[in-house]
């Protein structure tokens, strides 16, 4: 089969397309014919070799994938050949950037017919993280005001859709006009440009000066101190993304009796993970969740996909189509 192989940690150029042996499903595992693989920022951190997850070399990247069950290993009864599935991105896998991938059966979930494989590849890490941030750590309640700081990317779109279905009032940010239009189309009540001077004043004005109840933050090293300024008394900030150190005035936490917390999807408990994908499955079924695919690229363009996912101007997910 064709697969992307990484033989040394490094830049995007270490992602090479090779002919490799098709893996086989062992006990408790499933062989999936990959329809699409999601490209996550974490894939680039892992490829660079300085992330907490460091696979033995060589390896095939890609934890998020959707496709069709090709074969099941011993002991797998919940799935059969031909079933449409997506991976939750948390379990062990032989790698989604390939024509076939082996996944643990318990980390695969049914993909409804109306959701394409490209959309299915946008579900695992982004929607799992969004659910974990919004529901488990953020304790979002209907009627609250939510700031999705970075709403145009894979996780942000998922947070907006989940929050809209749960009755929150949503302010989402993006860095381009196309991103802002996308954020509005996904259900945000207001969309603001996080590159425009003074947009924080608009957040304050939209809450009548009271501040937002909850922030889901995609770039904490840039925004965390300002998020605290925008927070209502008793508000919560859930950090999802961070790419460097930052300085905050802790007095702002004290005066608001605020909570600053974070999520790490790869460390989620089995019960929180099961809850997240039960909820996501319900949203796919009732039509409130509709993953947005911004770019579909062939497997050979994996290096370009890793460059693109780290650039600004997100419009939903980037996926690879084997
Ligand atoms: P993505 O699809 O590349 O989206 C990145 C988002 O960040 C875009 O909406 C982008 O907006 C926004 N952004 C850029 N500059 C910003 C700024 N100054 N302020 C606020 N937002 C800004 O990535 P993703 O998959 O959604 O992931 C988002 C972040 O969360 C990444 O850092 C990723 O590593 C992290 N993450 C963490 C977990 C976890 O378990 N903690 C799980 C998944 C992802 P524009 O492009 O429109 O400017």
One DSSP character per residue, 159-215 reads HHHHHHHTT-EEEEEESSHHHHHHHHHTT-SEEEETTSTTHHHHHHHHTTTS-EEEE
- What is the position in ligand 1's atom list of the atom closest to the CA of 45? 34
- What is the position in ligand 1's atom list of the atom closest to the CA of 151? 9
Please report the pLDDT score of residue 105 as a whole number. Answer: 98
Please report the pLDDT score of residue 240 as a whole number. Answer: 98
Whole-prediction pTM = 0.98
Low-confidence ranges of the chain (pLDDT < 70): none
Please report the pLDDT score of residue 209 as a whole number. Answer: 97
CA of 36 to the centre of ligand 1 (A): 21
CA of 156 to the centre of ligand 1 (A): 7
Please report the pLDDT score of residue 277 as a whole number. Answer: 98
Can you say whether the dihedral through the CA atoms of 119, 120, 121, 127 is positive or negative? positive
130 φ/ψ angles, rounded to the nearest 5 degrees: -60, -45
Please report the pLDDT score of residue 281 as a whole number. Answer: 98
CA distance 128 to 40: 13
CA distance 133 to 203: 21
The residue ranges of every structural domain in the chain are 2-123+291-321, 126-266
Please report the pLDDT score of residue 141 as a whole number. Answer: 98
277 φ/ψ angles, rounded to the nearest 5 degrees: -80, -20
Please report the pLDDT score of residue 139 as a whole number. Answer: 98
CA of 214 to the centre of ligand 1 (A): 17
Helix and strand totals (H; E) in the chain: 10, 15
Tell me which of 44, 126, 153, 197 to substitute to probe ligand 1's pocket, judged by most ligand atoms within 8 Å of the beta carbon: 153
Residues with CB under 6 A from ligand 1: 40-42, 125-126, 129, 149-156, 173-176, 179, 194, 218-219, 222-223, 240-241, 263-265, 309, 312-314
Q: What is the CATH number of domain 126-266?
A: 3.40.50.720
- Whose C-alpha lies nearest to ligand 1, atom 1? 153
CA of 267 to the centre of ligand 1 (A): 19
Q: Cα-Cα-Cα-Cα dihedral of 57, 3, 87, 132, to 10°?
A: 50
Please report the pLDDT score of residue 176 as a whole number. Answer: 97
CA of 244 to the centre of ligand 1 (A): 13
Tell me which of 38, 41, 178 to substitute to probe ligand 1's pocket, judged by most ligand atoms within 8 Å of the beta carbon: 41
- Whose C-alpha lies nearest to ligand 1, atom 22? 150
Please report the pLDDT score of residue 116 as a whole number. Answer: 98
Intrachain domains 2-123+291-321 and 126-266 with the same fold: no
CA distance 182 to 225: 27
Contact criterion met (CB below 8 Å) for 302 and 320: yes
- What is the position in ligand 1's atom list of the atom closest to the CA of 240? 41
- Whose C-alpha lies nearest to ligand 1, atom 13? 150
- What is the position in ligand 1's atom list of the atom closest to the CA of 263? 41
Tell me which of 122, 150, 264 to substitute to probe ligand 1's pocket, judged by most ligand atoms within 8 Å of the beta carbon: 150
- What is the position in ligand 1's atom list of the atom closest to the CA of 126? 43
Please report the pLDDT score of residue 24 as a whole number. Answer: 98
- Whose C-alpha lies nearest to ligand 1, atom 29? 241
Please report the pLDDT score of residue 220 as a whole number. Answer: 98
CA of 58 to the centre of ligand 1 (A): 28
CA of 314 to the centre of ligand 1 (A): 8
Residue with structure tokens 């394409």?
Answer: 116
Contact criterion met (CB below 8 Å) for 235 and 213: yes
Q: Which CATH architecture has domain 2-123+291-321?
A: Alpha-Beta Complex (3.90)
């Amino acid at each position: 089969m064709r697969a992307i192989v990484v033989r040394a940690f490094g830049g995007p150029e270490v992602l090479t397309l090779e002919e490799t042996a098709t893996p086989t499903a062992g006990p408790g595992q499933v062989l999936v014919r990959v329809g699409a693989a999601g490209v996550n920022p974490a894939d680039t951190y892992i490829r660079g070799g300085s992330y907490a997850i460091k696979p033995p070399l060589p390896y095939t990247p890609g934890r998020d994938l959707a496709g069709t069950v090709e074969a099941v290993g011993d002991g797998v009864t919940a799935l059969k050949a031909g079933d449409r599935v997506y991976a939750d991105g948390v379990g062990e896998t032989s790698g989604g950037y390939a024509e076939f991938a082996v996944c643990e059966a318990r980390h695969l979930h049914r993909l409804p017919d109306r959701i394409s494989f490209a959309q299915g590849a946008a579900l695992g890490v982004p929607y799992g993280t969004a659910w974990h941030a919004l529901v488990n750590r953020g304790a979002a309640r209907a009627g609250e005001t939510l700031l999705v700081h970075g709403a145009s990317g894979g996780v942000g779109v998922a947070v907006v859709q989940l929050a809209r279905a749960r009755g929150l009032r949503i302010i989402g940010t993006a860095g381009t006009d196309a991103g802002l239009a996308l954020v509005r189309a996904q259900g945000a009540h207001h969309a603001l440009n996080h590159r425009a001077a003074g947009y924080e004043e608009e957040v304050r004005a939209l809450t009548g000066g009271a501040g937002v109840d909850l922030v889901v933050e995609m770039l904490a090293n840039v925004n965390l101190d300002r998020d605290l300024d925008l927070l209502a008394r008793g508000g919560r900030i859930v950090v999802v993304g961070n790419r460097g150190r930052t300085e905050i005035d802790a007095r702002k936490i004290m005066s608001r009796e605020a909570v600053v917390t974070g999520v790490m999807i790869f460390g989620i408990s089995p019960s929180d993970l099961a809850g997240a994908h039960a909820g996501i499955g319900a949203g796919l079924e009732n039509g409130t969740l509709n993953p947005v695919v911004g770019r579909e690229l062939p497997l050979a363009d994996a290096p370009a996909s890793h460059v693109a996912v780290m650039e600004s101007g997100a419009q939903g997910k980037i996926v690879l189509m084997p």
